[in-house]
Amino acid sequence: MDLSKVVASLALLLAAMLAIGYARSEGASAPVVRETVQDRLLAREARRRAALAEHDRRKEDVARLCHRPLNSRAALEACRTAYRRL
């Protein structure tokens, strides 16, 4: 019988601590913003366009640096570097 009183007292204490914790908390600090499917699609398309623009820029670098006579060692290294980045 003493054990049941201890368990019941512990349960009441935990319930009181839980209630006090909820009462003192201010809730979520920022409102929850759900990202819609349309927002995710727009973000993905923006990332794809940016990656495509970067790839096109690198292709232009390779064309500019490599499609000409490579007379010097520096020109050859610049072409190799641009090609590796492609």
For 21-80, what is each residue's pLDDT tens digit?
777 776 556 566 788 899 999 999 999 999 999 999 999 999 999 998 888 999 999 999
Nearest to 60, CA basis, from 83, 39, 29, 34: 83
Q: Which DSSP category does 45 fall into?
A: H
CB 62 within 8 A of CB 86: yes
pLDDT value at residue 86: 85
- Any residues with CB less than 8 A from the CB of 70 and at least 6 apart, and which? 76, 79
pTM: 0.53
